[in-house]
């Protein structure tokens, strides 16, 4: 069993596009329902949960009947605008099955750098959490394009974790954890715990493995280092079975733990 640096009272969970969409880009309803079940059950245990969800571009491209994801930035922004609505509608339906309301929060990284935005964001998060609502976060792609270009919300979820003083960030992806090299290499070995992100660790990180993924491991390591600096633990784990969330919270040894300093 693993012991986290802090007692888990408030956690941020981030799902990547590949975790909630089918291969062709359709929204994976089963995954979203399972996610809502797991998060609602954590909330029923008294744990505050904030969800950071990617997938708006893929959902929007489908809703508009595109055969593939737009490649240009403004096309992605338009798809995200349509897809965000579709995605939130699906989340809202799923969470209401378990008696929870969801709130949409669209942010940019300025919630960390701009003191007024920081205070506004914290107040909104805290109020929603106090009201037992599940905040669902995405980048505001209309005014900021960092995550759609580089990160698939990895960095954003770390910044949200810092802003709301979370105890743990869980990044769910399509790999079991962080490996010593790209796991497409059958000899790759998964690391259980990482306490420092040095050049050696960075040299193990490769790019995204699927057409819907964007950040790959580079942005996940960036997220880890933002969290670790603030004493926040981060776990990278596989979303293929969302029961992994309860296992992580129980302290079971799944995924890779990046231990906060």
Instruction: Give residues in contact with ligand ADP (CB under 6 A).
Output: 16-19, 152, 173-175, 178-179, 181-183, 204-206, 208-210, 213-217
Residue 40 or 54 having the CB closest to ligand ADP? 54
User: Least separation, in Å, of the C-beta of 187 and ligand ADP?
Assistant: 12
Residue 15 or 128 having the CB closest to ligand ADP? 15
Residue 91 or 178 having the CB closest to ligand ADP? 178
User: Least separation, in Å, of the C-beta of 29 and ligand ADP?
Assistant: 18
Q: What is the DSSP annotation of 46-68?
A: T-EEEEEE--HHHHHHHHTT-SS
Residue 7 or 199 having the CB closest to ligand ADP? 199
50, 13 in Cβ contact below 8 A? yes
DSSP secondary structure letter of residue 243:
T
Chain position whose Cβ is nearest to ligand ADP: 213
User: Least separation, in Å, of the C-beta of 169 and ligand ADP?
Assistant: 13
Backbone angles phi, psi at 237, to 5 degrees: -145, 170
Helix axes 73-97, 56-63, angle to 10 degrees: 100
User: Least separation, in Å, of the C-beta of 15 and ligand ADP?
Assistant: 8
DSSP, collapsed to helix, strand or coil, labels residue 8 as coil
Rounded Cα distance between 121 and 202, Å, is: 31
């Amino acid at each position: 069993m693993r012991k986290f640096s802090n007692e888990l009272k408030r956690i941020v969970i981030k799902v990547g596009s590949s975790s909630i969409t089918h291969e062709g880009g359709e929204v994976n309803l089963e995954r979203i329902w399972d996610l809502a079940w797991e998060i609602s059950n954590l909330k029923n245990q008294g744990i505050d949960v904030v969800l950071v969800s990617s997938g708006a571009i893929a959902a929007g491209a489908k809703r508009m009947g595109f055969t593939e994801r737009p490649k240009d930035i403004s096309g992605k922004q338009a798809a995200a605008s349509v897809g965000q609505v579709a995605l939130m509608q699906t989340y809202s339906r799923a969470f209401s099955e378990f008696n929870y309301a969801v709130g949409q929060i669209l942010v940019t990284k300025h919630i960390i750098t701009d003191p007024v935005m920081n205070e506004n964001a914290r107040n909104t998060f805290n109020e929603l959490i106090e009201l037992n609502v599940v905040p669902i976060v995405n980048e505001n792609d209309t005014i900021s394009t960092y995550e759609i270009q580089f990160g698939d919300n990895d960095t954003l979820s770390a910044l949200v974790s810092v802003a709301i003083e979370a105890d743990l960030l869980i990044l769910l992806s399509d790999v079991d954890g962080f490996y010593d090299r790209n796991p497409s290499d059958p000899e790759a070995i998964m690391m259980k715990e990482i306490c420092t992100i040095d050049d050696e660790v960075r040299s193990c990180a490769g790019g995204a493995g699927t057409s819907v993924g964007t950040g790959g491991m580079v942005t996940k390591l960036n997220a880890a280092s933002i969290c670790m600096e603030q004493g926040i633990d981060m776990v990278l784990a596989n979303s293929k079975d969302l029961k992994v969330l309860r296992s992580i919270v129980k302290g079971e040894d799944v995924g890779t733990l990046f231990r906060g300093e």
